[in-house]
Structure 1
Amino acid sequence: MFTPQNIEGSSKEKYVMLSKQLAALTEGETDHIAILSNASALLNQALDTINWCGFYLYKNDELLLGPFQGLPACVHITLGRGVCGTAASELKTYRVEDVHAFPGHIACDAASNSEIVVPIVINGELYGVLDIDSPIKNRFSEEDQEGIELFVETLQKFLV
């Protein structure tokens, strides 16, 4: 049975270890919902000062709520709308210091003040996004972005 380890060291080292833990946790698993469920739980356990962490999956030309940790969330998000929809439509990571200043922000949880969204691309096609919210403004640094993008790169290998 897999047991997540305590992560010590620099931010970069923490994300490298987190990605290794994800790989160990998902090795041999083929069910995408199981993989995404454990990935969101792993992130939720490892990251401090976050209040929502999960996935929106691209289905029927929109983003549909997938496995997550946190309060109930918006179920459907139109491409190009809010941080998630914008990141998905542009296939680009969005790190937002203050979500209330983001045009068209979708407020699923009023406590959220900052957000990072990383697109998940499989075989050149949009699969979905990883969305992480925090009640702290400017919670996500450039190092966090690099680490979370590394986590998504690792995850993508198991979603093929």
Structure 2
Amino acid sequence: MSNTRPTTDYAMLKRQLMALLDTRDWVTNTAQMAAFIFQQVPDLNWAGFYIQREERVLRLGPFQGQPACNPIGFEDGVCGAAARTAETQRVEDVHAFPGHIACDAASRSELVVPLSIGDRLWGVLDLDSPLPGRFGIEDQEGIEALCQVLIEQTDLPDRV
């Protein structure tokens, strides 16, 4: 694990994201957010959304990076764990995570934030890094705050 993580000014990113998400459209806003995070958060090799389009299954949504795994069941991988538990998953070494799905062999760590409206899971935001131990608690809290901006500024439909 790396002892030094890049520092990111999440308060500034939050303000920028609030200005960037200038429509209520979920496709536009999730696409913009994936691109924004991919460009602004250092040391990522994938950033994007998986959306719950059917019971206990996540389907690929807007993303930045290499082609991705699709679909992902709630019992599979880090994204499935976040969807199943409704809790953010911060994994320092994905190769040590039981049931990890290796979409990109270069990925070493992962941060997955569930997106819920009330008690209904809408989907997850998934971030991958080629660096082990890339995501700390400050990244988790910062990305969770960005996800809250998305939820507040977007009309996320019941079914997509």
Higher-RCO chain (CA-CA 8 Å, sequence separation at least 6): 2
Deviation digits for residues 68-96 of structure 1 (CA, Å, limit 9, x no counterpart): 00000012000121000010110000000
Q: How many residue pairs end up in the alignment?
A: 148
Partner residue, 2:14 = 19
User: Is the 1:122–1:159 contact (alpha carbons within 8 Å) kept by the matching residues of 2?
Assistant: no
Deviation digits for residues 97-116 of structure 1 (CA, Å, limit 9, x no counterpart): 00000000000000000000
* 1:132 corresponds to 2:127: yes
Secondary structure of 2:146's counterpart equals helix
Q: How does 1:29-108 map to 2 (within 5 A)?
A: 29-61=23-55, 62-108=57-103
Partner residue, 2:117 = 122
The whole-number CA distance in structure 1 between the counterparts of 2:151 and 2:16 is 14
TM-score after normalising by structure 2: 0.89
Partner residue, 2:137 = 142
Partner residue, 1:5 = none
Aligned residues with identical type, % of pairs: 51
Deviation digits for residues 38-89 of structure 1 (CA, Å, limit 9, x no counterpart): 0001001101111000000011121000000000001200012100001011
The whole-number CA distance in structure 2 between the counterparts of 1:117 and 1:17 is 21
TM-score after normalising by structure 1: 0.89
Gaps spanning 5+ residues in structure 2: where?
1-6, 156-160
The residue identity in structure 1 corresponding to 2:129 is S
Deviates more, 1:116-125 or 1:134-143: 116-125
Gaps spanning 5+ residues in structure 1: where?
1-9
User: Is the 1:88–1:119 contact (alpha carbons within 8 Å) kept by the matching residues of 2?
Assistant: yes
